Chains A and B, each alone.
Chain A
Amino acid sequence: MSWTLIALLLLPLAGSLVVAFLRGNDRLAKLVALAVSLVELVFAVLAWVAYDPDGARLQLTSSVEWIPAFGVRLSLGVDGIALVMIALIAFLVPVVIGGSWADKLPEGRSAGGFFALLLAMQTGMVGVFAATDVFLFYVFFEAVLVPMYFLIGRFGGPNRQYAAMKFFLYSLLGGLVMLASVIGVYVAAADKLGEGTMDWATLVTVTRDLPLSTQIWLFLGFFAAFAIKAPLVPLHTWLPDAGAEAPVGAGVLLVGILDKIGTFGFLRYCLPLFPLASQELAPLVLVLAVIGILYGSLLAVGQSDMKRFVAYTSIAHFGFIALGIFAFSSQAGAGAVLYMVNHGISTGMLFLVVGMVMARGGSRLIEDYGGMAKLTPVLAGLFFVAGLSSLALPGTNSFVSEFLVLVGSFPNEPVFTVLAAVGMVLAALYVLWLYQRVFQGPVRGTALVDATGGPGAAVDPERAALPDLGKRELAVLAPLVALILVLGFYPKPVLDVITPSVGATLSEVGVADPVAQEGK
């Protein structure tokens, strides 16, 4: 019985309740939220230290009986994949709290409510990755929707009601389809074992022997939910709306963590539970993945709204992750998991810097800006760093993961890999073109004119007094930049945690590495 995960799960929930009662005192609410999230980060570090990469399949486990009639238990545990995601959550939440510190909230909304919802969501997110009981996973999968729904619907942009409902309906419908499969898996286990169970590790040993046709149906149930979460084209259209309307901090967690539930679900549920179906349907997923990369990239190029832009780049990135998962090699798989972490960092940073641009110009539209590098050079530089990470330049974290996905996918899937690699060129195009339009050229654009009080479309750079990044904003971005570089140069500690779990997943699928290790 390990208490680490239980603490990680309950601490933010407790913090959320406390913060919810501090509605009258915004400053205290923020401080408590930040303190809670930092303690949570310490717990995550402890979990990281306690985890043995070469140890058991699931570690830091704990289990309590919940609904004995259905064999449902409150079981927690992590493998390397879940561990890095929980670490990412613990890292991003304090960053998001810092980043949302000075957000202008809609009329009548208190900061306490906002930060209480953030912390509540943290519990839900940790639960999704830490649950080792399939029903418990389902409960967290649905539960995490609720705080995000309120974050978008209550604190979002002008079109927030529509976006929140769209997000909610998509996810809920996906979840219901998954529930049918969860029940199917339960029934299959009950048939085989004589008594029902929802324990993941037990179910894996049962479902892998199911006939292919049954596996395909059950696989599709899970897959539908996950393909909506980590949006694969054509199930992606909720993301640009939700990402654009969500307040920046919630957007970071939405794209950085919530969407990863989908790719995590592929790895934890689709592959080990239904190995035959996974292999059978892999070509289909690969097609969707490659379409996602190219389609998402091209749409990112064509966006006129910066937040929608970030959402579409994410759709392209999720294509890379799905490619890495379904290419069935340890390099591609490890690359995909590392990509999940890196994308959280770099897209999180991209969302935050976009938010900082908007905080100055008051507009989401790209055309309302121009030549900002002249006015806010530090913001421009950090925006550029986030962009470089997004286009996977070597030296940044994303290069390692994108390289691993591609080099690992190539032996099994050369055609899909080459098509996906075209996304590298498109990524350079969408990042640099956005940067050019917002930051380069002469100072111009209505947002900057409004902010600086000058008339007409051209702004006098001498008179424009747009403030560059302040201390709080620098403190929020600094840890992200540090991680981008550290993971770009020395990803080994993270890869060492990920690789054995990816290897275990692949052996559960029953595939061998296409490029075998010498001497093993």
Chain B
Amino acid sequence: MTEPVAASGIAGLAWLLLALPALGAAVLLLGGKRTDRWGHLLGCATVIATFVYGAALFFTTLGQSPEARTSELHLFDWVPVNALTVEFALRLDPLSLTFVLLITGVGSLIHIYSIGYMAHEAGRRRFFAYLNLFVAAMLLLVLGNGFVTLYFGWEGVGLASYLLIGWYQHKPEAASAAKKAFLMNRVGDLGLAIAIFIMFKELGTTQYTEVFARVGELSSAEVLAITLLLLLGACGKSGQFPLQAWLPDAMAGPTPVSALIHAATMVTAGVYLIARSNPIYNLSADGRLVVMIIGAFTLLIGCVIGCAYDDFKKVLAYSTVSQIGYMILAVGLGPLGYALGIMHLLTHGFFKAGLFLGAGSVMHGMNDEGNIRRMGGLAKLMPITFVTWTLGYLALIGFPFLSGYFSKDAIIAAAFSQEGWRGWVFGGVAALGAAITAFYMTRLLLLVFLGQPRWKELKSEDGREYHPHESPLSMTVPMIVLAFGSVGAGFFFSSGDNLAGWLAPSLGELQEQHGVLGHTAVNFLTLGLSALGVLVAWLLFGRKPQPVRRPERVSFPVRAARADLYGNALNEALFARPGTWLTRALVFVDNKGVDGLVNGTAALLGGSSGRLRRLQTGFVRSYALSMLLGAICVLGALLMVRFS
């Protein structure tokens, strides 16, 4: 860790990073219908301006020596009470600046894409206001210089996510999905909050610099507790087991939202949190082990469920769950993997955002149809979408020399580079995940873009025929830009350890070791497994025409996967239903029991319930009576005093 210096020069304007998108959101929300005509342009302009400033800041910092790359900009004291001082201040360092570029870069592209995608929406201005709000909150999350400012941004993005998932709020399922997302996130936030409480109790501070400098003063149990509680927070925000169930439901929101918030940026905040807290995680091998277990388990269930869905966006959502599992696994590896987790986060940000935008483009041209069994053969009709999507697909399954090949394989190799059973278990799970990923993604490709055009015979829900067509430029250009990222980002980040070296002041040096399996062996193993996944998918879905209705007589594993591996059923049985009963019982008890008891006692004291009723009805008399009662009490008390 390098000590931060005070921000100066161009960095002194870093508050603009928060102020610009926040201003955009404020103008659009307060301006009302007056801003309808140019609201979307303002929304884009603020984020693009933020990106330009962020890039300038990035290159300025790049020109400085690694020791000088960490700086802080104090804005004001937010919550000061005696020993507690929560600053509202920004920390500019390689890690946060990397995120600034990701958030504002992908954010700008998705803002532009949304102009076309949301063109027919009545409240498009409000949509851009929420997107701007999201960008501001997400930037606060990564730029804040302490755990409480992180928490501010953390819940702020949760709010934006809630508003955007529930965008189609006249649809009950969208409203429910939004509420579910917020609630499950709050459960995670509870962990983050309690971790903050422990830090304040033991260290008297919640600012990164001081916490990280003094974390060694904590007992190992306290460190373990903090790592686990932060992990709980990460699980909520990043859709990791056991708090993963909200993320697929969140696909009820418009597709640009899914791309920006629920694939590229917000859901990776958990990875950021753990990477940012690396001085804490470095002190607890047990804590890191739990992180790895959660990551590995989630990456498996994510890709298993991803195989079973027929909804385009839900498959991608479970794919996101699974890919974030890889990132969590990576940061759980500690110094072996912090930088790798961030690298995969960045490449994933490109190709997953691209995949989602592609899905949106397909649905846009297909009367908002999301069922892949009703698609097929769209490659010829949507050539740009097809090509860009396929590049993203290849990047995700780790096709040689595309982005995912560098970032995902590096994580698998790092998992194998541990000693003993850990190397075999975590490496094995990660490699297995690569095979399943290749399988479900190929299934998507075959069912959507290749094969028979099954939609020709069908009509969409609103009774219209399908006329698939390519999307307008405002939508395809962002997809093309992201496709370049899908292709080249991995190579750029990993050549000469570019990214790991740049991030070293924030994350420490990336370490390497030789565990149970070497890098080359892992490379061939992963390629082989991925090829196997593609092959199996082609054998099952590529050779013969697929039915429009999904087969119902299927084996138990498929049924389980279709039911989200019973995650929702479990939540329902453990929390929702008992909670409903408890609430009903309490309402009954409060009305009949507690109130009745107190009323009854009052009645008893009053001699009879009749007298109480008279108190309640005969107003003047009873008022006089109670005054009399009071006077008698006062007199009695005074007399007692006299005689005591």
Contacts and interface: CB of A to CB of B under 8 A. Distances in A.
Interface of A: 142, 153, 161-162, 165-166, 168-169, 172, 175-176, 179-180, 183, 186-187, 233-237, 295, 298-299, 301-303, 330-331, 334-335, 371, 373-374, 381, 388, 393-395, 399-400, 403-404, 406-408, 410-411, 414, 417-418, 421-422, 424-425, 428-429, 432-433, 436, 439-443, 489-492, 495, 499, 503, 513-518
A330 B583 contact: no
Given A394-B151, A492-B80, A440 B166 contact: yes
B82 to A, nearest CB: 5
A176 B630 contact: yes
Interface stretch (B263-271, B333-341, B508-516, B614-622): B614-622
Interface string B142-159: 000000100110011001
A2 to B, nearest CB: 28
A237 B595 contact: yes
Contact of A495 (B79, B175, B197, B641): B79
Contacts of A180: 633, 637
A373 B194 CA distance: 35
Given A393-B159, A432-B179, A495-B79, A515 B84 contact: yes
Contacts of B187: 425
Interface of B is mostly: helix
Nearest to B77: A492
Interface stretch (B198-206, B417-425, B524-532): B198-206
8 contacts: A233-B594, A298-B582, A373-B169, A388-B159, A407-B196, A428-B186, A441-B175, A492-B80
A41 to B, nearest CB: 25
Given A335-B81, A425-B190, 11 more contacts: A153-B619, A161-B617, A172-B630, A176-B633, A183-B638, A237-B594, A331-B81, A406-B193, A425-B186, A490-B78, A515-B204
A287 B461 CA distance: 55
Contacts of A371: 170
A514 to B, nearest CB: 7
B638 A395 contact: no
Given A187-B641, A492-B76, A495-B81, A514 B595 contact: no
Given A165-B615, A436-B175, A411 B201 contact: yes
Contact of B586 (A172, A302, A395, A517): A302
Contact of A432 (B79, B183, B594, B630): B183
A176 B632 CA distance: 10
Interface string B618-642: 0100100010001001100110110
Contacts of A489: 78, 88
Interface string B483-514: 00000000000000000000000000000000
Scoring B584, B595, B617 by chain A CB atoms within 10 A of each residue's CB, the highest score goes to B595
A427 B77 CA distance: 27
B590 interface: yes
Nearest to A168: B626
A234 B591 CA distance: 12
A161 B179 contact: no
A403 B197 CA distance: 9
Contacts of A406: 193, 197
Nearest to A330: B82
Contacts of B172: 440-442
Main secondary structure, interface of A, reads helix
B83 interface: yes
Contacts of B221: none
A168 B615 CA distance: 11
A516 B155 contact: no
Counting chain A CB atoms within 10 Å of each CB, the highest count among B148, B162, B200 belongs to: B200
Contact of B189 (A236, A298, A424, A516): A424
B554 interface: no
B287 to A, nearest CB: 19
Contacts of B634: 176, 179
B175 to A, nearest CB: 4
A161 B616 contact: yes
* 10 nearest CB pairs, A to B: A410-B197, A440-B175, A394-B152, A302-B587, A302-B583, A237-B595, A411-B201, A517-B83, A440-B169, A432-B179
A168 B619 CA distance: 12
B81 A298 contact: no
A165 B197 contact: no
Contact of B201 (A388, A515, A517): A515
Interface of B: 29, 76-84, 88, 148, 151-152, 155-156, 159, 162, 166, 169-172, 175-176, 178-179, 182-183, 186-187, 189-190, 193-194, 196-198, 200-201, 204, 582-584, 586-587, 590, 594-595, 597-598, 602, 615-617, 619, 622, 626, 630, 633-634, 637-638, 640-641, 644
A436 B178 CA distance: 10
B248 to A, nearest CB: 19
B606 to A, nearest CB: 9
Given A183-B641, A429-B183, A410 B83 contact: no
A176 B637 CA distance: 10
Given A162-B616, A395-B156, A425-B186, A491 B79 contact: yes
Contacts of A303: 587
A491 B85 CA distance: 12
Contacts of B81: 330-331, 334-335, 404, 408, 495, 499
B371 to A, nearest CB: 23
A186 B186 CA distance: 50
A327 B586 CA distance: 27
B111 to A, nearest CB: 22
Contacts of A490: 76, 78
Nearest to A196: B641
B246 to A, nearest CB: 13
B200 A513 contact: no
B10 to A, nearest CB: 25
Contacts of B159: 388, 393
B222 to A, nearest CB: 12
Contacts of A381: 29
